[in-house]
Structure 1
Amino acid sequence: MNELPSIQTSHLFPILHQKLIVLLRGLSTGDWQLETVCADWSVKDIAAHLLDTSLRTIATYRDGYSSPDTPRIQSYQDLVNYLNQLNNDWVRATRRLSPAVLIDWLAQAGREADALIMALPPNEPALFSVAWAGQAVSPNWFHVAREYTERWHHQQQIRLAVGQTADLETDELYQPLLDTFMRALPHAYRDTPAPAGTLLQFTVANLAGGNWFLLRRHNHWTLLPSGQRTWNGGSPHEPSAVVHIDRSYAWQLMTRNLAPELAALHVRIEGDQALGRQFLQMRSVMM
């Protein structure tokens, strides 16, 4: 069977956390107020959001606590609306805190939250599914990988604002992020028709493990294991479209930090243009 392997990210959390704290401690007073690609949020706002993520993780997994104000979620849009309100409420409230307070809290809460995430049994059902991949139930390893992408891309938003992006773009830290994001491809293409056997290739140049293949099987799309272009040893397929993705901008494309028309400037499509352009509608975050 061509089952997709799990993505191992737990060991990367302490690395990300250490890089974040070093980064924040090195910011100047002016850096904290810089605008970011995250609409209406400054560098300080994103740092506050990362603190909120850690505190909510501790409340959930250490204390088993759920806020009594949580509304009934009946749809994907309900969930998006709730999370947006939750995040914005926190950011507005923490604008009264100093950067030093945020760093101190993050240094402690981030370590504790990461330890809780890293301890989750990888194959057991997660408390929270990865909705942007179309899943109603997800294994913990996928939830953990999704949490890794959250920490990575928010830290990178800060780094982009202050011109220090290289630290997170190593193959060790970047490839697992993109591999996790690419798990959204079948969901992104779910309403895109094509003949059975149609193969699409997505390539990020100069990245170890930077090729992904999406295969049309009967009435659905299937993401193939890394490096495979066939299903269960069948005849190899030639891609109907090859989507070349700019390495430096790949994370922004998949988190929708760039509008599709701007994202198109950082993507080159060979072959079927319509099939390739559907990639620009993919999202690997809740929005």
Structure 2
Amino acid sequence: MTPHAWLGEPVDARGSFGPERAALLELLRSVEPGQWRRTALPGWSVRDVAAHLLGDDYARLAWMRDGHDTGAAPRPGEAFEAFIHRSNREWVEASRRISPPMLVETLELTGGHVARMWARSDLHAVGRPVSWAGADPAPLWLDCARDLTEYWTHRQQIRAALGRATEGTPPAPPVPPVVLDTFMRALPHTLADVSAPAGTRVRVVVDDQAELAWTVRAASGGGWEMEHRLPAAADPAAQVELDAATAWRLCVRAIGPAQARSRARLRGERRLAEAVCRMVSIIY
């Protein structure tokens, strides 16, 4: 088995960074002066979320393009998740002197650099850890796709703060399949502590967007692995059916597992289906 084969077929998100940044810039240019202070996340305004994305751009370009890796580091004994949250908070607080117009101008500049960097990247190289997928290190294709989902998720949070429909909720566009596909790579890690006989299959279906589906299988050596193509004769032991809006909100913890279960249709072995509803695809 090739390294990281349990994560399934690679997701190629490289071509999505340019369009995603264009959508963000269009959104930010429509923000009225009084709307920049609206709450987008607990403790963060619309302006703060935009500044956070700029920090993401700078950090990725510094490390991956420029080989500059002397930024913030965990303190002794500091958990990785706590370090990420702290460094994000410190950046946002330090950047509050940057005006919204300057943020938008700079995001246009750095967004172009990020899109060109990813376009030239080798998806089979080694990337940084993706903790929610249990991959340390992660293949670069997952590291890349994870970055795209972060940009996309924060744009949805800004849309919601402005009172606009988020993607997956009409009249907004559908959730991009590449975003859902990336989020679902958390499935093997989500089920890691769930025991089942080798060959047991669990399927997740997003039923309002062209019947997108993902299957994980209990591996013979333990753990779970992605199996994108469910054999025709292989009925899953459990299946979770949900709409795209519920799926992405669960994965970024905009809703919790209990709310996701109440919205989803759970079929087959209950404990397996309920375990799927614990899935999270962000550092949480």
Q: Structure 1 length as normaliser, TM-score? A: 0.88
Root-mean-square deviation (CA, aligned residues, Å) is 2.4
- Aligned position for 2:62: 59
Q: Distance in 2 between matches of 1:5 and 1:62?
A: 25
Q: State which of 33, 49, 54 in structure 2 corresponds to 1:29.
A: 33
The answer on 1:278 being equivalent to 2:275 is yes
**Shift, 1:216, TM fit:** 1.8
Q: State which of 263, 268, 273 in structure 1 corresponds to 2:260.
A: 263
Q: Could you give the per-residue CA deviations for residues 133-183 of structure 1, whole angstroms, max 9, x where no partner exists?
A: 111222222211111111111111111222142499645x62111111111
Q: Distance in 2 between matches of 1:210 and 1:143?
A: 22
- Aligned position for 2:44: 41
Q: Distance in 2 between matches of 1:31 and 1:249?
A: 27
The answer on 1:250 being equivalent to 2:247 is yes
Q: Distance in 1 between matches of 2:93 and 2:144?
A: 27
Give the SS at the match of 1:59.
helix
- Aligned position for 1:135: 135
User: Which amino acid letter does the alignment assign opposite residue 247 of structure 1?
Assistant: A
Q: Could you give the per-residue CA deviations for residues 1-44 of structure 1, whole angstroms, max 9, x where no partner exists?
A: 895321111111100011110110001123222222x3322211
**Shift, 1:186, TM fit:** 0.7
- Does the C-alpha gap of structure 1 residues 184 and 42 become closer, same or farther in structure 2, counting only changes over 3 Å? same
Q: Is the 8 A contact 2:38 2:45 kept in 1?
A: yes
- Aligned position for 1:14: 18
- Aligned position for 2:225: 222
Gaps of 5+ in 1: none
Q: Is the 8 A contact 1:255 1:285 kept in 2?
A: yes
Give the SS at the match of 2:199.
coil
Q: Distance in 2 between matches of 1:263 and 1:34?
A: 27
User: Which amino acid letter does the alignment assign opposite residue 74 of structure 2?
Assistant: P
Q: Distance in 2 between matches of 1:129 and 1:73?
A: 19
Q: Distance in 2 between matches of 1:148 and 1:73?
A: 30
Percentage of pairs with the same residue: 32
Q: State which of 30, 48, 73 in structure 2 corresponds to 1:70.
A: 73
Q: How many residues align?
A: 276
Q: Structure 2 length as normaliser, TM-score? A: 0.88
After superposition, residues 79-228 of structure 1 pair within 5 angstroms as 79-126=80-127, 128-162=128-162, 163-166=164-167, 170=173, 174-208=176-210, 210-218=212-220, 219-225=222-228, 228=229
Give the SS at the match of 2:214.
strand
Q: Is the 8 A contact 1:214 1:221 kept in 2?
A: yes
Q: Could you give the per-residue CA deviations for residues 98-155 of structure 1, whole angstroms, max 9, x where no partner exists?
A: 21121111111121122212221111112x1222111122222221111111111111
After superposition, residues 226-245 of structure 1 pair within 5 angstroms as 228-230=229-231, 236-245=233-242
Q: Distance in 1 between matches of 2:263 and 2:160?
A: 17
Q: Is the 8 A contact 1:175 1:208 kept in 2?
A: no
